[in-house]
Structures are given as C-alpha cells and as structure tokens.
Amino acid sequence: MSAAPTPRPTPRTLAAFEAAKGFMPVREGLALYAAAVEAGRLGLPLLEVGTYCGRSTLLLAEAAREAGTVAVTVDHHRGSEEQQPGWEYHDPTVVDPEVGLMDTLPTFRRTLHAAGLEEHVVAVVGRSPQVARVWAGEVGLVFVDGGHTDEHATGDYEGWAPKVAEGGLLVIHDVFPDPADGGQAPYRIYLRALESGRFTEVSVTDSLRVLRRTAAGDRAGTTATA
C-alpha cells in the first residue's frame, strides 16, 4: 500500500502564512502543520509557546479547525531578546509608539482576521511559565518557539512538556546541533526530552523536531528529571 499523502493547509492559509511577519520557512511550516493534523486526532487543544505575529499560529488554527478543537497560543507580545531594539530581528513597525515597547498583539490579530481563523484560536497574553502553572489540562501538541535563552527555553519545556498527553506531540523549533548554525538552548531542551525516556523522535525537518509522548515514565516527574 502507498503511504497516505502528507496533509497540506488550504491555499488561503498557506498564502496567509507566507505573507505574515515571522521567521519560519515554508518547509518547516508544512512539517508543523502535518504534526498538528496528527495531534488533532486526540481531540485536545494544540498549544503554541511563542506567537509573535501569528505566522505559525495560522497552521495550528487550521489543523484545529479540521479536528474540531482549538489552537492556544501563549505570548507576552513584548518580543524575545533577539527582537529588541539594536538586535538582528528587531522590527520597528511593531513597536507601540505610546509606550515605546514592542507590541505584536495587534499585528497577530490582523494576521488571524485576514486568514479567517480567529474563531479557532485562543490567544493567551502572558509569560509562558506563569500560564503553564495555571493550565490544568492536557494538550495534544506543544510547539515550543519562544525565547531562545536557556532560561526561557528551559522554562517553556519544564512548564509545558508534562502537559502533553500520551500519544501527543512535542515540537521544538530552531534546534541546531552545530553552534555555528544558531543558539543552543532549543537543542538542549530537545536532548532533555529524548534523555527523559518520555519522548521519541518522530521526524526532523531542518531545524524543526517532532517528538511523540510515549507511555514510558512518570509525567509528574518531568519537571524535576526530564
């Protein structure tokens, strides 16, 4: 039997993804979408850490719409370290002139509206570890794409990896084994997930890693030992 075709977003969503502000290449976006479609079969929310302007959120939203669930995206919308003034990824068009700080929330809302996907997304404005502490339920997918310092990547992993349901997926972006290619914090949490025995690698697409939550191990101990 031939393998089932890899799912693809609708032309409208893919066009909106390519037009949106953000940094995820199309190849990695398509891999994320395929993972979200698979995880959506669990009927649980699909959660993203690191919204920025909603580029990857569009893909999770479409997968959630098809699965009859919801995409949840968590961000304080003040920008990560590398997006601040004077840094490589700073975009002055998303600075709030009244307060002088980045505010990507209005651009994110416009991104969702243009794609017709607003009703399939719950946007949580806050810092990832704080939100994780008050999130009580399981999720079918966690996509980690927030701050790239060790402090922030570790906080995202420790806060959200324990909430991935058995059979669900943990997706980590910007995993670079070679330090010459990029920062190492996402790579280190990727290694922690594998070494924990609770996750098994499913696929690799450039810097995007997809891991499945297996039955092995005690989920409650992930924060302390994973």
Residue with tokens 């594998």: 194
- Amino acid making up residue 175: V
Q: Are 223 and 177 in contact (CB under 8 A)?
A: no
Q: Is 152 a catalytic residue?
A: no
Q: Are 156 and 131 in contact (CB under 8 A)?
A: no
**Whose CA is closest to 161, among 128, 120, 202?**
128
Q: Are 26 and 92 in contact (CB under 8 A)?
A: no
Residue 107, H or E segment: helix 105-115
On the 0-12 / 13-18 / 19+ scale of CB atoms within 10 A, 195 is: exposed
Cα angle 94-25-189, degrees, rounded to a multiple of 5: 90
Say which of 76, 77, 120, 148 is annotated catalytic. 148
Residue with tokens 């893909």: 59
The token pair at 139 is 């999720």
**Whose CA is closest to 59, among 77, 34, 78?**
34
Active-site residue numbers? 148
